[in-house]
């Protein structure tokens, strides 16, 4: 095993990435804060060896906070998907700035069923999915379900803690296994005009969900 980058160093690199240039409300475009992303990625690697030398998918990658972080922690290869060209342009800038050699960016709707050809393909699928608050209720569960279909090992996903019971119910319904591996606090910046306070402090769970055999 190669030496793992220190948590603080990882957070520093992620904190230097550019964010969405013109965030789109309907796509729930806000980055995972660098501290949360660093702790989440570190937990995946140190507790589950989910990143180093692995084939990783960053689903709904935005500017690449999770995918670039996975690469910095030694991922073998990262595929980063987002529906939005603007987000992928920022991702590309970040990749160049950080001189990341092993991320392939793909512009697509992650929920498109044609991704079935990648069934059980990725070791680890990482996501901070749209929470489903902007007239798109249920999109977080659709992301999770697709992630599970494409993962041969595990999905690592951030969700509001208030949805924990709902996710537990879904996990049971789908016949898979999962648990919360870290409880985090997400200080969501007032990115959009309708946010009255400057920041909103939200409790967030990092879930690890996997097929029964893994
Ligand atoms: C909450 S942001 C997370 C961004 C990034 N993963 C991060 O952690 O900083 C959700 C991302 O999902 C993308 N997205 C929303 N719907 C999508 C879809 N159907 N297919 C692919 N990407 C989508 C948005 O453009 C946005 O970049």
pLDDT in tens, 149-186: 999 999 999 999 999 999 999 999 999 999 999 999 87
Decide: 129 and 160 in contact? Cβ < 8 Å.
no
Instruction: Compute φ and ψ for 212, nearest 5 degrees.
Output: -60, -35
In 16-138, where does DSSP find H-type helix? Answer: 34-48, 65-72, 85-98
Domain 7-210, what fold? Answer: Rossmann fold (3.40.50)
- The pLDDT of residue 198 is 57
What is the number of the ligand 1 atom nearest to the C-alpha of 66?
8
Q: pTM, whole model, 2 decimals?
A: 0.94
Average pLDDT, the chain: 92
Protein residue closest via CA to atom 27 of ligand 1: 62
Rounded Cα gap, residues 184 and 201, in angstroms: 10
What is the mean pLDDT of the segment spanning 43-49? Answer: 98
Enumerate the domain spans of the chain.
7-210
Q: What is the chain's length?
A: 214
Query: 96-145, pLDDT tens digit by residue?
Result: 999 999 999 999 999 997 777 899 999 999 999 998 876 788 999 999 99
**Ligand 1 centroid, distance to 2 Cα (angstroms):** 31
- Bridge partners for 205 per DSSP: 159, 183
Protein residue closest via CA to atom 19 of ligand 1: 109
Rounded Cα gap, residues 174 and 88, in angstroms: 32
Rounded Cα gap, residues 156 and 174, in angstroms: 16
Protein residue closest via CA to atom 6 of ligand 1: 61
Whether the pLDDT of residue 54 is over 60: the answer is: yes
Rounded Cα gap, residues 24 and 197, in angstroms: 19
From the list 178, 182, 180, 172, the residue with the least C-alpha distance to 214 is: 178
**Ligand 1 centroid, distance to 113 Cα (angstroms):** 17
Residue 109 Cβ inside 6 Å of ligand 1? The answer reads: yes
Residue 188 Cβ inside 6 Å of ligand 1? The answer reads: no
Place of tokens 């520093």: 12
Query: 1-28, pLDDT tens digit by residue?
Result: 567 899 999 999 999 999 999 999 889 9
Residue 87 Cβ inside 6 Å of ligand 1? The answer reads: yes
Residue 23 Cβ inside 6 Å of ligand 1? The answer reads: no
In the chain, where does DSSP find H-type helix? Answer: 7-15, 34-48, 65-72, 85-98, 139-150, 164-174
């Amino acid at each position: 095993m190669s030496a793992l980058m220190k948590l603080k160093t990882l957070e520093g690199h992620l904190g230097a990435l550019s964010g969405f240039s013109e965030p789109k409300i309907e796509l729930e475009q806000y980055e995972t804060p660098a501290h949360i992303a660093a702790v989440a990625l570190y937990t995946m690697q140190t507790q589950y060896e989910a990143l180093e030398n692995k084939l990783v998918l960053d689903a709904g990658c935005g500017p690449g906070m999770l995918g670039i972080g996975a690469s910095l922690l030694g991922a073998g290869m990262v595929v980063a998907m987002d529906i939005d060209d603007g987000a992928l342009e920022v991702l590309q800038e970040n990749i160049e700035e950080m001189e990341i050699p092993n991320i392939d960016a793909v512009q697509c709707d992650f929920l498109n069923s044609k991704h079935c050809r990648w069934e059980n393909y990725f070791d680890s699928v990482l996501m901070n999915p749209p929470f489903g608050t902007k007239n798109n209720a249920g999109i977080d569960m659709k992301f999770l379900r697709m992630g599970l279909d494409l993962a041969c090992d595990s999905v690592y996903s951030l969700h509001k803690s208030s949805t924990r019971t709902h996710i537990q119910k879904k996990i049971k319904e789908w016949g898979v296994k999962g648990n919360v591996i870290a409880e985090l606090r997400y200080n969501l910046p007032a990115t959009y005009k309708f946010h009255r306070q400057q920041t909103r402090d939200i409790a967030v769970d990092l879930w690890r969900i996997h097929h029964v055999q893994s």
